[in-house]
Structure 1
Amino acid sequence: MSQAKKGDSVKIHYTGTLEDGTVFDSSAGREPLDFTLGGGQVIVGFDEAVTGMAIGDKKTVTIPSHKAYGEKKLELVIEVPLSQVPPDLNPEVDQKLQMGGPNGELVVVTVVAVTDDVVILDANPPLAGKDLTFELELVAIS
């Protein structure tokens, strides 16, 4: 039976959980995830975990944050004076907003705090700084 290797197109069912057991994503009830190994379409640790699996293989792996979404970067947490927030916007904690990035791109940020004077926004990926556990099942290689 062949094993998945770099350049192969693979289909995999997965369930991703955090350290406390909270499920953050799953292919359950959906089509399996379809991607090319080594193609940069998934996080590095996920790519590495699938490499070497054969069709029908199942395993559970924990991917450290540095091979997932990276460590949380403090420079991506910013304070914005309320005077600079559009008047029709009423920011609330955990709300997702879009703002212009340094190169004109749209960046998704999360409101982490609101005071009388400032809104604190976090532009880190939501899973940054977290180790992720995945239950994997390889269903196809092509």
Structure 2
Amino acid sequence: MSHFCVGPDMAVTLNFSLKLDDGVEVDSTFDKAPATLTVGDGSLPEGFESLIQGLATGAREQFTVAPSAAFGERNPANLQRMPRTRFDSDIELAEGVVISFADQGGSELPGVVTWLSETVVEVDFNHPLAGRTLLFDVEIIDVQPAS
């Protein structure tokens, strides 16, 4: 057992689960291999990283994470309507379909089709968990200085 605590530049091995506030599980490592990350490497959103700061090996905690500390609030500006002609005819358009777009920097930006008509397609670029309060259950398995 290490005696280190979670902090900057520490390698952390942990199990976690994320649930919606209604108890629906979104993600979990408890039933598979634990996750290993280095604090500050971007693997874990900052709001979650700040919650585990100072925890030591063996700690098991549950946190309620507000949308502002998780994936942000839903932004109405991220709902965009575009002409149906912008989509290749081989793309199957239906509500709930995830389509990947390239942003200005060339990164992939997923959007979910939320509504469509004969001529218009509405796509939601909000993170699927935006606006949701999440339950974050974490178990710290090991903490070591990152090499």
Say yes or no: TM over 0.5.
Answer: yes
CA distance in 2: counterparts of 1:91 and 1:99, whole angstroms: 14
- Show the counterpart of 2:42: 40
| 4+ residue segments displaced more than 6 Å | none
CA distance in 2: counterparts of 1:28 and 1:60, whole angstroms: 14
- Show the counterpart of 2:128: 126
Matches within 5 A, 1:1-142: 1-142=3-144
Q: In structure 1, give the amino acid aligned to 2:29.
A: S
Q: In structure 2, give the amino acid aligned to 1:62.
A: T
Q: In structure 2, give the amino acid aligned to 1:122.
A: D
TM-score, normalised by the number of residues in structure 2: 0.88
CA distance in 1: counterparts of 2:75 and 2:98, whole angstroms: 18
CA distance in 2: counterparts of 1:98 and 1:130, whole angstroms: 22
User: Residues 7, 23 of structure 1: CA spacing in aligned structure 2 closer, same or farther, 3 A cutoff?
Assistant: same
Identity %: 24
- Aligned partner of residue 48 in structure 1, secondary structure: helix
CA distance in 1: counterparts of 2:43 and 2:94, whole angstroms: 32
TM superposition shift of 1:81: 1.6
Q: In structure 2, give the amino acid aligned to 1:136.
A: V
- Residues matched between the structures, number: 142
Q: In structure 2, give the amino acid aligned to 1:13.
A: N
Larger deviation: 84-93 or 58-67? 84-93
- Aligned partner of residue 75 in structure 1, secondary structure: helix
CA distance in 2: counterparts of 1:103 and 1:136, whole angstroms: 34
Aligned CA-pair RMSD: 1.5
Larger deviation: 28-37 or 56-65? 28-37
Structure 2 residue ranges without an equivalent (≥5):
none
User: Residues 40, 88 of structure 1: CA spacing in aligned structure 2 closer, same or farther, 3 A cutoff?
Assistant: closer
User: Residues 96, 133 of structure 1: CA spacing in aligned structure 2 closer, same or farther, 3 A cutoff?
Assistant: same
Larger deviation: 3-12 or 82-91? 82-91
CA distance in 1: counterparts of 2:41 and 2:58, whole angstroms: 22
